[in-house]
A = this chain, B = another copy of it.
Amino acid sequence: MAVGMTEIDKTDRKILSILQGDGRIANVELAERIGLSPTSVGERLKRLQRDGFVEGYGARLNPHRLGLGLLVFVEVLLDKTTPDVFEKFARAVQTAPEVLECHMVAGGFDYLVKARVANMTAYRRFLGETLLALPGVRETRTYAVMEEVKRDAPLPVG
């Protein structure tokens, strides 16, 4: 028997979809919207959590309200002749609070970094003291976001 099931039905997807939009919805109300009893929905949800479909719950905070007005994407090219560049870069990125996402990509550069900072001054500091300070960083290209057209949309589950 498998440790974690992977098959989920329409009802499970509906649960995930609603929960993604409102993580604090009461189980009774969730059950009403689904059309099942609270107990059944609770059991399904517990299974979905156990099997890793739901990783957790979180408050969605407004970055601008928190003074994080500038969103930037940074393309990073590494000098592959330097030893352990990838490991070192990956580790440094984990500890930098400004970095919200970092991905290794296939294409014209090596890493794509998404970061949020207060303003351009803060960004220059972050770039100089964090990104460029790392050994093996050969080149960076910064793209400042002028307008967030679509921000953190829910995953298409249904």
On whether the beta carbons of B56 and A22 are closer than 8 Å, the reply is yes
Contacts of A100 in B (CB 8 A): 150, 152-153, 155
Known pairs A107-B144, A144-B106, A155-B116; A59 contacts B101 (CB<8 A):
no
Per-residue B-contact encoding for A143-158, CB less than 8 Å = 1, 0 else: 1111111111111110
- Copies of this chain in its oligomeric complex: 2
Q: What is the total number of residues of chain A having a CB less than 8 Å from a CB of chain B?
A: 62
The verdict on A23 contacting chain B, using a C-beta distance below 8 Å, is yes
Selected contact of A155 from candidates B63, B109, B151, B153, CB within 8 Å: B63
On whether the beta carbons of B143 and A106 are closer than 8 Å, the reply is yes
Complex-state Cα separation, A65 to B52, whole angstroms: 7
The verdict on A62 contacting chain B, using a C-beta distance below 8 Å, is yes
Known pairs A66-B157, A90-B149, A106-B144; A61 contacts B55 (CB<8 A):
yes
Closest to A63 in B: B155
Complex-state Cα separation, A22 to B151, whole angstroms: 21
- Closest 9 pairs (CB-CB, A-B): A97-B156, A23-B57, A19-B59, A102-B150, A104-B147, A105-B143, A102-B149, A24-B57, A107-B143
Could you pull out 9 A-B pairs where Cβ atoms are within 8 angstroms? A21-B58, A23-B58, A53-B65, A53-B66, A58-B60, A61-B155, A93-B150, A100-B150, A105-B143
